[in-house]
Amino acid sequence: MESSASGDGSSAADAATAAAAASSSSGPSTSDPAFSAGGVGGPSATHYLAKRVLHGSIVQHVARGRFRSEHLWEIVLCKETSLELVVVGEDGVLQSICEQSTFGIIKDVGILDWRFKHFGIWPEIEGKEILVLLSDSGKLSLLYFCCQMHRFIAIGNIELSKPGNMRDQLGRILAIDHDSAWVAIGAYEDAFAFVHVGKSPHKYFYPPEIVERAKIMHVVYKSSDIRGTVWSMCFMRTRCSMDEYYPVVAMIINRKGSDVNELSVYALAANDGGIQYLSSFSEPGPLALDISEIPQLDGFALLFRAGDILFVDLRDPKEACCTIRISITGSLIGGQISVEDSCRGLDVDDDVAACALLELRDSGNNIMMDDNYMAIDGLDNAGSMKSRIICSWSWEPDAVRGRPRLIFCLDDGEFHTLEFNWDIEGVKVLPERVHRGLPCRPLLWMNRGMIAAFVEMGDGMILQLEHGRLVHKSAVQNVGPILDLAIADYHGEKQDQMFSCCGMCPEGSLRVIRNGINVEKLLRTEPIYQGVTGLWTLRMKRTDTYHSFLILAFVEETRVLSVGLSFNDVSDAVGFQPDVCTLACGLITDGLLVQIHSKGVKLCLPTTYAHPEGAPLTSPVSVVWYPDVTISVGAVGQNIVAVATSNPCCLYILRVRSLSSFQYELYETQHVQLQYEVSCISIPEEDPRLRTVSSAVGGGDVRKRKGNNLAAKVDVRMFAVIGTHKPSVEVVSLEPEEAFRLLSTGSISVNNAFGAPVSGGIPENVRFVASERFYILAGLRNGMLLRFESDTSKDHYFPGSFYKDSFTPCVNTPLQLIAIRHIGITPVGLVALRDSANADIIVLSDRSWLLHASRHSLAYSSISFLPASHVTPVSSVDCPSGLLFVAENCLHLVEMVHGKRLNAQKFSIGGTPRKVLYHSDSRTLLVMRTGLTGASCSSDIVQIDPNNGILLSRFKCEPGETARCIHIAKIGSEQVLIVGTSKSIDRPMMPNGEAESSIKGRLIVLSLDTLGSPRESSSFIPISNLSSSSHTGSFPEIVGYTTEELSSNSMCSSPDDVCYNQIQHEQMAGHLRSLTHVTFAGAVLAVYPYLDRYVLAAAGNTLCVFGFVNENPHRMKKYAVSRTRFTITCLKTYASRIAVGDCRDGLLFYSYNENLRKLELIYADPAQRLVGDVALLNCQTAVVSDRCGSISVLSSPRLEVSESPEKNLAVHCSFFMGEIAMSIQKAAFRYRLPIDNETDPVLESAYNCVVASTMLGSVFVMIPLTSEEHHLLQDVQERLSVHPLTAPLLGNDHAEFRRRGIPSGVPSILDGDMLVQFLELTSEQQQTVLDTAPSGKGPLRSISIFQVMRTLERVHYALN
């Protein structure tokens, strides 16, 4: 998220400053800039759009399958409200393929292996496995991955129950049989069903819009005779005849009223189709928790219990018996598990059984939906109370025949393997302890011995089993839960960064989260590169791994630098003309470089001084070709040069030939006069004649195209893509004797909302891209980005005109304009990340973006970096994947971090970080921690340098005291930190919401005047000057960022982890000094400054106003007290308004009468609400979250304080996120597009945006809209929610899902996740969506695509 999306730099800076001030100021005042934007009596926004800018990272379910191709293994991470498809490389790094919202809550996941069934029925899913999901929709969702759309799409949603989220309705747990024909589904209570699934015998083809209409054959067999809760289940292959019972399922059931769980076997009777009970098995001992069939050992299962594992024989499902008991109750450190042949006479461990009984599988994974709503607020290490329970397990996917292996993780962090060896003597079990780490759930054994282990409240890890031990390969970032956040501008880059408190003890951390794609900043020069007009890197040979030369073009100058440990100026040794502006350059053939400038084309052979493989001569060999007129643009390809002139408008083709040793000729082969001037030229990096399907498609399903002409070498014309002033994009042949024959053309005609042509549509850059299908990208001078495609036959990759000796008529094939996007207002530059036609592309305009070449339509992500004018990839031994940006007259060497799924830097700080504040004066962070393991204190407040995580100062709470809240306040001219504490580690409130009367608390005032400043080493190091006009000498020393200190004690250390746990207090700059304190009868859970001269404190259900006598922070005095019915959980103020959130009565508005020294209740929440957090937008309006997953905007209709206190607040709009927002911040940033005129209406207030972080690790942003924009986008949202390509993935009714728990009549906040799907569609698909009529609605209202795109692009631009 950025502070500003405006082309006005000063406005952006002001907005960023306002955002920083809002998060660190001492309190609201009438002088605050936000006050004037929407203060007392000002208008408040009533229409909002909510968009998730960071998906949750807590993984709750995981599945492995072949989703994109039968040759590729991938993993699906299910994160309750979103899906992420990832792959794990050979280096063990987990990389994201795509991520999408589900618009529903995932309950369970499975895989249907239909790769080898019914070929020719559904071509789009052949060779792919089907993802099966259970959700709150009450439907069984079958999804396949669409490579064209680059996302999962539903091929069927089988309705099981409605609404689907009740305890006695099907939809909590599933199991899939080995033949992928049957699915067993259980409810929370009493209900169970078999579902037989298969494919329709009908034949369906593209377009993918009809995939949703494809039929899934299914038969549902239900039973309501379970009378209990199904904890776990699995299918069993038994000795029963399929003509008698099939399928057979074993399940663990907790019968109503029973303290133990039993293993029951059910089957579908073949004679009557009813579900029959076959047998049950219950062995005295610990509580049974989970069950799994043993692969390769038909009829045998493992029964996981609290403290042991039973090997159960179910070959005869009517006579189940236990043959082996595996004990896991050994020593917590180093104790091996033991195997016994009999399990009779086991002792019952009542404590363990009772503890495990409380752990229904869903309640552990869905802590935010548990009835115990305060679980996250309690003890930091409550998990340590559990004892030797298997929390996750996984089978080896490619085990040796007859020797299946299992890996499981205990709740104390021990990992063990079990190998089952079947021989003539029976089954032998070989246990082995392989690792000690953190408790993980879930766990997945992948190929190559790699294991993915996910931690609920910390970073997961990729492990590899080597020689009987697990070796750490890489970390899997997890920022959830985000307990608090603070927003601040990133070193003047006009891009916000978010400091967040993530995870819980022992994996608590502070994360610095930024939006967009992360780049690692390596080097930076001084600002001496003014007037750069071009930037390129060249290799000496096409087969070279690394680049050899860096070319810098200025207005009247060109410099050539060598690429290596030091960038040296080698212009004279290369032979480029130094006193001209280079228009283009390139490698025409191995060893020969070409420079194109306005006066001619120069061919150069560098000397050995410039490159070891150069010519052994004293000066470079050079040949120049001069035209009769001035050259305007040019391009260099393999053995060819293309240049264009402007007056007259001509296009020339040049080639090179060798005359003798070190003698070459650059000659013209043909030229043609054009009707329109050429604005840009691009020659594909690869020769299309050598392209095969595998290289063109870039990982697509090659088997589908067997037999087409691209399976071997194809004879494709050499071509170039040109942009003209017509304006148009054209593909012309470069073959000799063809005189630039036109192969394909696309006219550029873009109209605005009024139907008038958009000016400035001349191409600045064009590129040919080879993906699933070829397309042409055009970046225009007015800041627009276009995508053109051409229709091709199913047996050819290109249109017929591209082939030589083709039977297809060689006619000009039109290019169709598929997608249009506004990038900015400056000309759009296109630079590929590597020399390949299917490489991703960096798009430059007002900002830098990364365009995903293989994606559908135009899909791009922001790059977390400064706006840049030029960029080029640079590859060297020290930096093989570097990028060199020109920004702010400096050269910046960065490396794009592809392995990082999240753009987040981690500081491992120990304990549980619960609150964070950004102190703008010192540019440091103040963090409140709990759950510390030191003997001196269990909670403290620390000051941290955000650049490197160094601990600067600290305040330790008293022994047995826990800090609960902090905030910065200003008393007179002095800044102080106010801290609320609890004198007990127990919960501060009772289950009914009332405060614990036995707990005491303190309000502490700390001085901030002695705060240490960040260390100087964290800033840039000064460097020596180098004149940009010099042609010799060394490239300047480039400054770098400080090296981060790796954690020495973290089990999941990664290069971006920083730990300062080992720093001694003597190394700190100082300690935070206490000025005064007050003791309360109750835990102080909330504090906040008020009117620049007061401090509010909430202890239990008591709200107090404190002042400082003579503005002396040492003399604090209580002025007023008021009480609520229930415990106050949060406080916020704006000017004179006080917002109080409690755990039952919801949101309350108070005001303070200074004359009477009295707190007065002004307005109250119209409904009971368990408040998570609140943010005041102005004196009238507040945004509040509850712990049921909703967020609402409430306001008071008038401000007359004389009205009855019973006057209710009005709920303007609400939104069900499906996640609990733990922290809400008001943000101040503008989100104009650069193309917007200053006279255009702004999207409501610039200061009423809201940022919310959730327990699952998501970040939502709410943006206010005008009534017109809300009305427009609401119509679009309704149509998107029913269109097959964009409808909710899990079959939910979108309106019902987003309104869940919201009173009728309250408008819903628009869903940004649903709306931005519109940007991912082609223009034709967008029109189809707008033509889709939602059921039950009246006649369609005509909507302009241009108007919708303009509004959504504003949102996209702001949130990226």
- Beta-bridge partners for 1002: 1079
Q: What is the pLDDT of residue 951?
A: 87
Tokens of 1102: 């008591």
Q: What is the pLDDT of residue 119?
A: 57
**pLDDT band at residue 583 under the 50/70/90 scheme:** very high
Q: What is the pLDDT of residue 751?
A: 74
The whole-number average pLDDT for the span 895-901 is: 70
What's the pLDDT tens digit per position in 815-842?
Answer: 888 888 888 888 999 999 888 888 889 9
What's the pLDDT tens digit per position in 1017-1026?
Answer: 333 222 222 3
Is 60 exceeded by the pLDDT of residue 1200? no
Q: What is the pLDDT of residue 118?
A: 55
**pLDDT band at residue 755 under the 50/70/90 scheme:** low
Query: Residue 131 in contact with residue 108, Cβ under 8 Å?
Result: no
**pLDDT band at residue 800 under the 50/70/90 scheme:** low
- Strands (DSSP E) contained in 503-626 are 509-514, 519-524, 532-538, 549-554, 557-562, 582-589, 592-597, 600-605, 621-625
Is 50 exceeded by the pLDDT of residue 795? yes
What's the pLDDT tens digit per position in 1007-1019?
Answer: 887 666 655 433 3
What's the pLDDT tens digit per position in 52-63?
Answer: 988 999 999 999
Alpha carbon 1123 to chain centroid, angstroms: 43
Strands 48-54 and 1310-1311: parallel
The CA distance from 1345 to 658, in Å, is 55
The CA distance from 62 to 610, in Å, is 53
Task: Give the DSSP letter of residue 979.
Answer: E
Task: Give the DSSP letter of residue 1285.
Answer: T
Q: What DSSP string runs through 1160-1205?
A: EEEEE-SS-B-EEEEEESSSSEEEEEETTSEEEEEE-S---TTS-T
The full length of the chain comes to: 1360
Q: What is the pLDDT of residue 971?
A: 86
CA angle 161, 164, 167 (to 5 degrees): 105
> What count of Cα atoms within 13 Å lies in the side-chain half-sphere of residue 435?
27
Backbone φ and ψ for 1318, nearest 5 degrees, come out as -60, -35
Summary mean pLDDT of the chain = 79
Tokens of 252: 């663990």
Q: Which of 865, 1101, 1133, 1119 is nearest to 996 (CA)?
A: 1101
Lowest mean pLDDT among 291-300, 509-518, 674-683, 810-819: 810-819
What's the pLDDT tens digit per position in 1049-1079?
Answer: 333 334 344 443 333 333 444 578 888 999 9
Tokens of 1171: 């408040």
- The residue behind tokens 């618009």 is 103
Q: Which long-range contacts (CB under 8 A, 24 or more apart) does 734-739 make?
A: 734/637, 734/640, 734/642, 734/653, 734/683, 735/804, 736/669, 736/670, 737/670, 739/670, 739/672
Q: How many CB atoms lie within 10 A of CB 217?
A: 11
What's the pLDDT tens digit per position in 64-82?
Answer: 999 988 888 999 999 999 9
Is 90 exceeded by the pLDDT of residue 5? no
Q: What is the pLDDT of residue 338?
A: 62
**pLDDT band at residue 752 under the 50/70/90 scheme:** low
Q: Which of 104, 109, 105 is nearest to 77 (CA)?
A: 109
Lowest mean pLDDT among 161-170, 514-523, 885-894: 161-170
What's the pLDDT tens digit per position in 1119-1177?
Answer: 999 999 888 999 999 988 999 998 888 899 999 998 889 998 988 888 888 899 999 98
Report helix, strand or coil for 1063.
coil
Q: What is the pLDDT of residue 495?
A: 55
Is 60 exceeded by the pLDDT of residue 1202? no
- Beta-bridge partners for 140: 134, 158
Q: What is the pLDDT of residue 385?
A: 42
Task: Give the DSSP letter of residue 494.
Answer: S
Residue 1021: left (phi > 0), alpha (psi -120 to 50), or beta? beta
Query: Residue 615 in contact with residue 641, Cβ under 8 Å?
Result: no
Tokens of 131: 């993802």
Please indicate whether residue 897 or residue 431 has the higher confidence score (pLDDT): 431
Tokens of 96: 């994201």
Backbone φ and ψ for 895, nearest 5 degrees, come out as -130, 125
Task: Give the DSSP letter of residue 982.
Answer: E
Q: H or E segment at 1355? A: helix 1345-1359
What's the pLDDT tens digit per position in 361-386?
Answer: 333 333 333 333 334 555 554 444 44
Q: What is the pLDDT of residue 3?
A: 37
Lowest mean pLDDT among 512-521, 925-934, 1019-1028: 1019-1028
**pLDDT band at residue 285 under the 50/70/90 scheme:** confident
Q: What is the pLDDT of residue 844?
A: 93
What's the pLDDT tens digit per position in 417-431?
Answer: 998 887 767 778 888
Please indicate whether residue 260 or residue 758 has the higher confidence score (pLDDT): 260
Lowest mean pLDDT among 456-460, 487-491, 1266-1270: 487-491
What's the pLDDT tens digit per position in 1229-1276?
Answer: 554 555 554 444 444 455 678 999 999 999 999 988 888 889 999 999
Query: Residue 1229 in contact with residue 1357, Cβ under 8 Å?
Result: no
Q: What is the pLDDT of residue 1228?
A: 67
Is 50 exceeded by the pLDDT of residue 692? no
Of all residues in the chain, what percent carry a pLDDT higher than 90?
29
Lowest mean pLDDT among 324-338, 503-517, 588-602, 1297-1311: 324-338
